[in-house]
Amino acid sequence: MSATSAGLNVLILAGSRRGIRDPMAQAAGISHKAILPVCGRPMITRVCDALMQVPGLGRVVVCIDSPDAIRDAVPPSVTFIPEAAGPSASVMNALGILGAPLLVTTADHALLRPEWITAFIADSTRANCDMSAGIALDTDIARDVPDTKRTMIRLADGAFSGCNLFFLRTPAAMSVLKLWQRLENDRKHPLRMARLLGLGILLRFVLRRLTRAAVCDRIGHLTGARVGLIPINDGRAAVDVDKPADLELVTRLIGQETTIVHQNV
């Protein structure tokens, strides 16, 4: 995996959007969702465990407003950077500090597997992407986690869900982050977003004529960067912990894995 040969730096997003306390953290009586226990271990601990198994790992940095809240849940080598005004700004700040290549994931990705990461990076590198996003196709989600409900993006060549995995392979990814920030700032103003993306592409989306390749081409046209949507061939990669049903699902899946391991020992 050439991207990791010089050390792959990683950013874990663990803060709260606009400083709003997460409802699941509130319900559990904890300060941050990142330390929500799953089968007795904080979610962010599980994320770090997966990352530490990736060959050639560099620095692991957590973006959070209160490092002391999670310090005991991460390895001593993990460092921290403060949150910025929104996820896109936080990633931009991290890219400026850590440089490319940079892997980005989230603290609530409790099912994260090192093999997903290595395959995602290898596929992104083969595709020569400046920035890529991991996705799970609807067929893989239906096969691997049929009882989950994910937010799906439905295009002409199939539906998919995001996997909270992003690979910023080159410095050109910064231009994509700037576009993301503009869209993030305009998310409550659909007409502004339409003007930015282009009415043609939105019309094709409404008519179900828009493909993944066309989306990537449009972003490339707007940013000058090569962008990819990279499938991860395990539907579980789309599962993060956003609601109680997700926590129940993740707890059950990890419990099943633990039982299988114990039976094989």
**pLDDT of 261 higher than 80:** no
Q: What is the pTM of this model?
A: 0.92
Model confidence band, residue 3 (pLDDT cutoffs 50, 70, 90): very low
Q: Which superfamily does 8-255 belong to?
A: Spore Coat Polysaccharide Biosynthesis Protein SpsA; Chain A (3.90.550.10)
What pLDDT, on the 0 to 100 scale, is given for residue 4? 41
Q: Which residues contact 52 (CB under 8 A, 6 or more apart)?
A: 60, 75
Band (pLDDT 50/70/90 cuts) for residue 2 is very low
* Predicted pLDDT of residue 1: 42
- What DSSP letter does each residue of 84-152 carry, written as one string? -SSHHHHHHHHHHHH-SSEEEEETT-TT--HHHHHHHHHHHHHTT-SEEEEEEEHHHHHHH-TT-----
Tens digit of each residue's pLDDT (9 = 90 or more) over 8-67 = 999 999 987 665 778 899 999 999 999 999 999 999 999 999 999 999 999 999 999 999
Task: Tell how many helices (H) and how many strands (E) occur in the chain.
Answer: 10, 10
Q: Band the pLDDT of 260: cuts 50, 70, 90.
A: low
What are the structure tokens assigned to 59, written together?
């620095």
Contact 234, 117 (CB under 8 A): no
> pLDDT digit string (tens) for 163-207?
999 999 999 999 999 999 988 887 667 677 777 888 888 888 888
> Tokens for 14?
């663990």
Q: Around Cβ 104, how many Cβ atoms within 10 Å?
A: 24
Cis upstream peptide for 101 (omega within 30°): yes
Contact 106, 164 (CB under 8 A): yes
Task: Give the pair of three-digit tokens for residue 64.
Answer: 């959070």
Buried b (16+ CB within 10 A) or exposed e, 9-36: bbbbbbbbeeeeebebbeeeebbbbbbb
The confidence score (pLDDT) of residue 117 equals: 98
Closest CA relative to residue 130, chosen from 155, 93, 101: 101
Dump pLDDT digits (tens) for 54-105.
999 999 999 999 999 999 999 999 999 999 988 999 999 999 999 999 999 9
All structural domains of the chain with their residue ranges = 8-255
pLDDT score of 5 more than 60: no
Neighbours of 240 (CB within 10 A): 22
